[in-house]
Each structure stands twice: as structure tokens, then as C-alpha cells.
């Protein structure tokens, strides 16, 4: 009987000492499991005399029950402790700021923004958007725009040429968006009212020039189109784009092979501060070239110049973006620097509209 008492003390100490459910299971197997110490003792009951069995039987059964209950109780305690521990370790710190979704964290490049603003403004005036190829033939980039062979104006464009193809034709990266004027005339009958945003290429690079840059071309062709329409359209555009009530524009005579007469347009501004301000001041800044479409260009496009006339303009989008949003170096536009884009970029869901303000 004494060794039963000792066994009980030992077993209860092991149960109390079991640190987790796995250790407790080991104690269970070692005691009341098939080959456990208590089970082994119970197997000896059969060999005892009836008198011995009368005391040993209930004692062993009592021990077995007590151990079973103690294991169950300890298991309960361990399970609760494990849950407490998990709750402590797996708490969520709800004071952490929520991470921004890609739609909130992403930024629209200022150039994309400016193109969206410009198209919103011209769409409101009834223009549609046209596009054309960036790899052009000499014909569309120059000849059909009334650049005579060997004319010095061709050299002024610093053209990137490809190697001649098997037929000896030398393709080029378009130096301006003007070739799309001719593509459009070939495929569309007047009246035509289009704007053409797109990439253009010239071999030039410094703080305000990039070998790849962006232009916005405009073309209007109809029966009674005159320079007054040109002037009004550009003034309305500049007011809407720079978000001012008034702009003063100056049309200076100039030369482009594809327009006659041709003008360079300056807008009055204040250049005394760190950024250029439009709608005030006494300085002038040149912003675009324009003119009445040359009769030869209409002919190249398959349009009769005795019946139709029109106007066109070309404007540098990169420069407009720099002026409006105060970005000093054009090369930053194409550096893919995440800090620059997060500073100068626009929120993806703020789409420019005339009623909402083009830049807000
Ligand atoms: N294509 C000219 C350039 O890149 C810009 C230009 C000037 C376009 C006058 C026009 C225009 O349509 O009428 O320098």
C-alpha cells in the first residue's frame, strides 16, 4: 500500500509539473495508458488472493480515477493558459494607420495629367482626339507638310533617322505631331476639328529639351474658317488651362512651311517671382506656333483649298506642364524617381473636368 501512496505522490507531481498538453499526454500514457504503471499494477490483481484483491482492487481503481480526474483538470488549465497566451501574442494594434491601397498611393505623372486637362478643355469645345504613328516616312513628316526637298527647315528639326530599308526608304522618328494633320485629312472629310497629343523626337538634350518630348497639335478645317477662330480658340484654351479669367496674347508673324500666314504666340505674364504667373504682369512668353493651313498641305491631304480652309497649331506639352506646375528641369520627367512623382504627381481618381476645375 505504501508504494501505491508513493506512486500517487509521484504521478500527481508529474501532472502538476506538465508544462503543456504534450507533456501531460506523456504522463497519461505512462500511468493509465495500456502499458502505464497503474495499468500494469491492475494486471497483477488476477494473481492475488481474494483478500488481497479486496483491498488492492478499490485502492488501484481509486488511484486510476483520481489520476484520470487530475489529468483532465490539468488539461483544462493548460488549454486555458494556451488560449490566453495566443490572445496576448496575436492582438491587432488597431492604432496602426491603415496601409494605402495602390489606387490611393499611386500617382499620375504630371504629363499624363496635363494631356488629360488639355483634352478635357478641347473636348468641351467640340474637338476629337486623333493619333498617328511615331515612326514616320519623310513624306508625312516633311514633304506633305510643304517642306521642299533640301529646304533648310528640314535641317532645323535634328531628325533621328533609321537605316534605309530594302527599297532605300529612310524612316524617321517624327519630329512633330504635324504629320497627323495629313493622315487625318486623308481619312476624314471636312469639317475637321481635332487635337493630336503625342510623343515627338529630336536629337537635343538639356534642362528644357529632351530627345523625346510631347506636343499637342490642333487642326480645324471647314468652309469659312479664319484667323479670328484661331485666335479665339487659343485664348479660350489658355484661360481654361492656366485657370485665369483673362489672358493677353500677342501674335507675331513667323514662318512654318505648312502654314500661311504663320504666327508665333506669346502670352503676357509676370516673370518676376519664382514661378511664372499668367493673367497679370508685363512680360511675354512664347508658348506656341500656329497659322492658317497652307493650300499645298490641304492639297497633299486631298482637300480642295478653293473650297476649304483651316488653321493649325502646335504646342509643347512638357513646357506647358513645367509652366503650370513649376517643375524646373524637364529631365526629371523621365527619371522614374519615386520621390519626384510622389511630390509632383496627381491622385489617380482626381480626373480633370471643366466643371470640377481642370487641376483640382
Ligand atoms: N510643328 C511645329 C514644330 O514642331 C509646330 C507648329 C507650328 C505646328 C505651327 C503647327 C503650326 O500646326 O501651325 O515646331
Report the alpha-carbon distance of residue 99 to residue 64 in Å, rounded: 57
Residue 290 Cβ inside 6 Å of ligand 1? The answer reads: yes
Is the same domain home to 143 and 263? yes
81: in domain: yes
HEC profile for 181-246? HHHHHHHCCCCEEEEEEEEEECCCCECCECCEEEEEEEEEEECCCCHHHHHHHHHHHHHHHHCCCC
Domain containing residue 38 = 2-89
Q: Ligand 1 centroid vs 316 CA: distance in angstroms? A: 10
Among 121, 118, 117, 111, smallest CA distance to 344 is for: 111
20: in domain: yes
350: in domain: no
Is the same domain home to 53 and 168? no
Report the alpha-carbon distance of residue 122 to residue 107 in Å, rounded: 24
Q: Ligand 1 centroid vs 178 CA: distance in angstroms? A: 6
Is the same domain home to 111 and 61? no
pLDDT in tens, the chain (360 residues): 578 889 899 999 999 999 999 999 999 999 999 999 999 988 898 898 988 888 888 989 999 999 999 999 999 999 999 999 999 898 887 888 888 888 888 999 999 999 999 999 999 999 999 999 999 999 999 999 999 888 877 777 789 999 998 998 889 999 999 999 999 999 999 999 999 999 999 998 888 788 999 999 999 999 999 999 999 999 999 999 999 898 999 999 999 999 999 999 999 988 888 778 888 888 888 999 999 999 999 999 999 999 999 999 999 999 899 888 888 888 899 998 999 999 999 988 777 777 766 776
Residue 182 Cβ inside 6 Å of ligand 1? The answer reads: no
Is the same domain home to 183 and 307? yes
For ligand 1, atom 12, which residue shows the shortest CA distance?
313
pLDDT tens, residue by residue, 266-302: 999 888 887 788 888 888 889 999 999 999 999 999 9
CB 219 within 8 A of CB 181: yes
Backbone angles phi, psi at 135, to 5 degrees: -95, 120
Sign of the dihedral through C-alpha 38, 41, 45, 50:
negative
**How many helical (H) and strand (E) elements, i.e. helices and strands, does the chain have?**
13, 10
Determine the atom of ligand 1 nearest the C-alpha atom of 314.
8
Residue 314 Cβ inside 6 Å of ligand 1? The answer reads: yes
Contact partners, residue 82, CB within 8 Å, separation at least 6: 20, 21
Is the same domain home to 165 and 61? no
Report how many domains make up the chain: 2
360: in domain: no
Report the alpha-carbon distance of residue 291 to residue 297 in Å, rounded: 12
Is the same domain home to 158 and 31? no
Residue 256 Cβ inside 6 Å of ligand 1? The answer reads: yes
CB atoms within 10 A of CB 146: 21
Is the same domain home to 113 and 65? no
For ligand 1, atom 7, which residue shows the shortest CA distance?
289
355: in domain: no
What share of residues in the chain are helix, strand, coil (percent, to 5)? 45, 20, 35
Report the alpha-carbon distance of residue 245 to residue 173 in Å, rounded: 39
pLDDT tens, residue by residue, 167-199: 988 899 999 999 999 999 999 999 999 999 999
Residue 259 Cβ inside 6 Å of ligand 1? The answer reads: yes
Is the same domain home to 78 and 11? yes
Total residues belonging to the chain: 360
239: in domain: yes
Whole-number Cα distances in Å, 189 to 157, 259, 302: 30, 20, 9
pTM attached to this predicted model: 0.72
102: in domain: no
Is the same domain home to 192 and 256? yes
What CATH number corresponds to the domain at position 236?
3.30.930.10
Count of alpha carbons within 13 angstroms of residue 323, beta-carbon side: 20
Report the alpha-carbon distance of residue 112 to residue 106 in Å, rounded: 13
Q: Ligand 1 centroid vs 322 CA: distance in angstroms? A: 19
| Of the residues 62, 89, 116, the one at which a domain ends | 89
Amino acid at each position: 500500500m505504501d508504494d501505491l501512496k508513493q506512486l500517487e505522490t509521484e504521478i500527481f507531481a508529474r501532472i502538476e509539473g506538465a508544462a503543456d498538453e504534450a507533456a501531460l499526454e506523456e504522463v497519461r500514457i505512462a500511468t493509465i495508458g495500456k502499458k502505464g504503471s497503474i495499468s500494469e499494477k491492475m494486471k497483477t490483481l488476477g494473481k492475488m488472493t481474494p483478500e488481497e484483491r479486496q483491498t488492492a482492487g478499490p485502492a488501484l481503481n481509486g488511484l486510476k480515477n483520481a489520476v484520470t480526474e487530475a489529468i483532465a483538470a490539468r488539461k483544462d488549465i493548460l488549454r486555458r493558459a494556451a488560449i490566453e497566451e495566443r490572445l496576448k501574442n496575436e492582438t491587432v494594434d488597431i492604432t496602426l494607420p491603415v496601409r494605402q491601397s495602390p489606387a490611393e498611393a499611386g500617382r499620375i505623372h504630371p504629363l499624363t495629367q496635363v494631356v488629360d486637362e488639355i483634352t478635357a478643355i478641347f473636348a468641351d469645345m467640340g474637338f476629337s482626339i486623333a493619333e498617328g504613328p511615331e515612326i514616320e516616312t519623310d513624306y508625312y513628316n516633311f514633304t506633305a507638310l510643304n517642306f521642299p526637298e533640301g529646304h533648310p527647315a528640314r535641317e532645323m528639326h535634328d531628325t533621328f533617322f533609321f537605316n534605309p530599308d530594302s527599297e532605300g526608304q529612310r524612316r524617321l522618328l517624327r519630329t512633330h505631331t504635324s504629320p497627323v494633320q495629313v493622315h487625318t485629312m486623308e481619312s476624314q472629310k471636312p469639317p475637321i476639328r481635332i487635337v493630336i497629343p503625342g510623343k515627338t523626337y529630336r536629337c537635343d538634350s538639356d534642362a528644357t529639351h529632351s530627345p523625346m518630348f510631347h506636343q499637342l497639335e490642333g487642326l480645324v478645317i471647314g468652309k469659312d474658317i479664319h484667323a479670328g477662330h484661331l485666335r479665339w480658340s487659343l485664348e479660350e484654351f489658355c484661360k481654361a488651362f492656366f485657370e485665369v479669367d483673362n489672358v493677353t496674347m500677342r501674335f507675331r508673324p513667323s514662318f512654318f512651311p505648312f502654314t500661311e500666314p504663320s504666327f508665333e504666340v506669346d502670352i503676357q505674364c509676370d516673370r518676376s517671382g519664382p514661378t511664372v504667373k499668367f493673367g497679370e504682369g508685363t512680360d511675354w512668353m512664347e508658348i506656341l506656333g500656329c497659322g492658317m493651313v497652307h493650300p499645298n498641305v490641304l492639297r497633299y491631304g486631298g482637300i480642295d483649298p478653293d473650297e476649304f480652309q483651316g488653321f493649325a497649331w502646335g504646342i509643347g506639352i512638357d513646357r506647358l506642364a513645367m509652366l503650370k506646375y513649376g517643375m524646373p528641369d524637364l529631365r526629371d520627367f523621365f527619371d522614374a524617381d519615386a520621390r519626384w512623382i510622389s511630390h509632383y504627381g496627381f491622385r489617380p481618381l482626381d480626373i480633370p473636368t471643366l466643371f470640377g476645375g481642370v487641376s483640382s
